[in-house]
Structure 1
Amino acid sequence: MIIRQAFFEGSIHAGREQAFKSYVAEKLLPMWLAFPGVKEVRVLYDIERDEGAPCYPMVLSTMYESRDALVAALASQVRYESREMTKGLLEMFTGHIYHHVFDLAHD
């Protein structure tokens, strides 16, 4: 399995935390779930971290069967629509988004 994660490094604007989460749940999550070939979508919100660790208020994690499935999802129309919709989310966030792709280890 292939895991692609988007690390939102930075901060949600003060007082906008609930609006940020609602925007994700109502506007973006349905789009992410519609990516072709996606097996799993998880949205993780920061609760605590080690002292000195970078702040990731949100991490988006998606799972695909293969690299080919990921490539197809990233080339899909809904992915481009979600990128456009993400602009509204970024109005409530200061920082950077970093993407990482992992191979899920199996026993």
Structure 2
Amino acid sequence: MIIRQAFFEGSIHAGKETAFKAYVEEKLMPMWLAFPGIREVKVLYAVERDEGAPPFPMVLWTAYDSREALATALESPVRYESREMTKGLLEMFDGHIHHHVFDLALGQ
């Protein structure tokens, strides 16, 4: 299984935490769930971190059966629509987003 994670490194604007989470749930989650070939979508919100660790207030975790399935999802129209919709989320966020792709080892 292939896992793609989007790490939101930075900070949500003070007082915008609830609006940020609502935007993700109401506007972005339905789009992410519509990506072709997507198996699972999880949104992780930070609770605490080690002293000195960089802040990641949110991580988006998505799962696909293969790298080909991921490639199809990344080229889909709904992915481009979600990128456009994400601009509204970024109005409540200072920082940057970086993506990592992992091969999930099951049962080892």
Tell me the TM-score normalized by structure 1: 0.99
Name the structure 2 match of 1:67: 67
Name the structure 1 match of 2:19: 19
Deviations 1:66-106 (A, max 9, x none): 00000000000000000000000000000010100000012
Gaps of 5+ in 2: none
The residue type equivalent to 1:42 in the other structure is: K
Q: How many Å separate the matches in 2 of 1:53 and 1:65?
A: 32
Map 1:9-48; keep pairs closer than 5 Å.
Answer: 9-48=9-48
C-alpha deviation, 1:13, in angstroms? 0.2
Q: Aligned with 2:105: secondary structure?
A: coil
Q: Aligned with 1:72: secondary structure?
A: helix
Deviating above 3 A after TM superposition, structure 1's stretches of 4 or more consecutive aligned residues are none
Q: How many Å separate the matches in 1 of 2:80 and 2:54?
A: 28
Q: How many Å separate the matches in 1 of 2:4 and 2:67?
A: 10
Gaps of 5+ in 1: none
Q: How many Å separate the matches in 2 of 1:75 and 1:98?
A: 18
Q: Aligned with 1:63: secondary structure?
A: strand
Q: How many Å separate the matches in 1 of 2:95 and 2:13?
A: 10
C-alpha deviation, 1:63, in angstroms? 0.1
Name the structure 2 match of 1:80: 80
| Superposed CA RMSD | 0.4
Tell me the TM-score normalized by structure 2: 0.98
Q: How many Å separate the matches in 2 of 1:73 and 1:21?
A: 23
